[in-house]
Amino acid sequence: MVKSISNYLRCEGREIHFQTWGEPGAEPVIAWHGLARTGRDMDELAAHLAGTGRYFVVCPDTLGRGLSQWSPHPDNEYCLAFYVKLAVALVDQLGLSEFKWVGTSMGGAIGLLAAATSLRGRIRRLVLNDIGPELAEPAIQRIRSYAGSPSAFDTVSELEQYFRQIYQPYGWMSDAQWRRLTESSVRRLPDGRVTPHYDPAMVRQFFVHPDDYERWTEWDSLSLPVLCLRGETSDLLLPETADAMRVRGPRAEVVTIPRCGHAPALNVPEHFAVVQRFLEGA
């Protein structure tokens, strides 16, 4: 079984945590998680890709999430532009000249912006997991409602039940996967209760940078191969947006993931096969 290694690097003056899977000499893939999550969400996909022997997978914790440092300047640093700077610093320090990118939700938006700007030409293939250059406003309001004021619980088991409820749109997950999702994204508060492991101030992105996810200009500038995975019942990436992505800019291949909303967990063989096929250029 492929094992991961926990790592830390200083990027743009901030300590960033990331997991690596596979051998550093293999073809690199950046796998970046969603808004209120951590790089551990990519465990199953990363283990599968690295297990083929072809890929070296890097799964960062975004600033303010997981084991990465929280920002001392949230209004300036919790935004896509700064996340792209962190990504550039990370891949440069790892010596990665070219790589492929798989991003869930926010992680896909970072990849999209990076591919259009600072990492243009270095990102060779881009997988967007239930994200596009335009987001549905009701979904943004839903995310803001829970992400900015994370719930706290007396026990980890209660937190797991909470995660099972709010992340039900991820689709099927085994009991072991739900447990790992919980244990890899929990922190204990001073009063002894537990809460999700992220800085609540990261939600200020939606107030200070209200148009951060409006990226049609960048989308239309892209020319690299793009695969868009859309959860069948996603409320964030609407069907009409996915349809426009097929005919504008890089003209993405769009694949609907059944029995999922926002965002598919990328945790079962059917998901692995779609992503791997695209990364291999099939």
What span, in angstroms and rounded, lies between the C-alpha atoms of 253 and 153? Answer: 41
pLDDT tens track for 24-38: 999 999 999 999 999
Q: What is the C-alpha separation between 194 and 208, in angstroms, rounded? A: 28
Would residue 159 count as lying in a domain? no
Work out the pLDDT band at 57, boundaries 50, 70, 90: very high
Q: What pLDDT is recorded for position 6?
A: 98
Question: What pLDDT is attached to residue 265?
Answer: 98
State the pLDDT at residue 33.
98
pLDDT band at 147 (very low <50, low <70, confident <90, very high): confident
| Helix/strand/coil for 45 | helix
Domain coverage including residue 86: 4-135+213-279
With a cut of 80, say whether residue 124 has pLDDT above it.
Answer: yes
Residue 180 lies in a domain: no
76 token code pair: 């300036």
C-alpha torsion angle, residues 43, 47, 49, 50 (rounded to 10): 130
Whether 177 is covered by a domain: the verdict is no
**Within a domain: 90:** yes
* Average pLDDT of the residues in 67-77: 98
- Residues 237, 61, 147, 75, Cα dihedral to 10°: -100
Q: Is residue 158 part of a domain?
A: no
Total structural domains within the chain: 1
Question: Nearest-5° angle of CA 81, CA 254, CA 235?
Answer: 70
Query: pTM (2 decimals)?
Result: 0.97
With respect to residue 181, please indicate whether it lies within any of the assigned structural domains: no
Q: Which CATH number is 108's domain given?
A: 3.40.50.1820
Q: Is the pLDDT of residue 202 over 90?
A: yes
The structure tokens 């101030």 sit at 201
**In contact, 159 and 181? CB cutoff 8 Å:** no
Domain presence at residue 196:
no
CA distances from residue 219 to 32, 109, 190, 211, 224 in whole angstroms, order as listed: 19, 10, 44, 15, 10
Q: Which percentage of the chain shows pLDDT scores above 70?
A: 100
Q: What is the mean pLDDT of residues 189-217?
A: 96
Compute CA distances 192 → 8, 38, 152, 185, 195, whole Å. 27, 22, 10, 16, 10
In this prediction, residue 3 carries a pLDDT of: 86
- What is the pLDDT of the chain when averaged over all its residues? 97
pLDDT at residue 61 tops 80: yes
Instruction: Give the model's confidence band at 184: pLDDT under 50 very low, under 70 low, under 90 confident, else very high.
Output: very high
Structural domain contains residue 148: no
**255: helix, coil or strand?**
strand
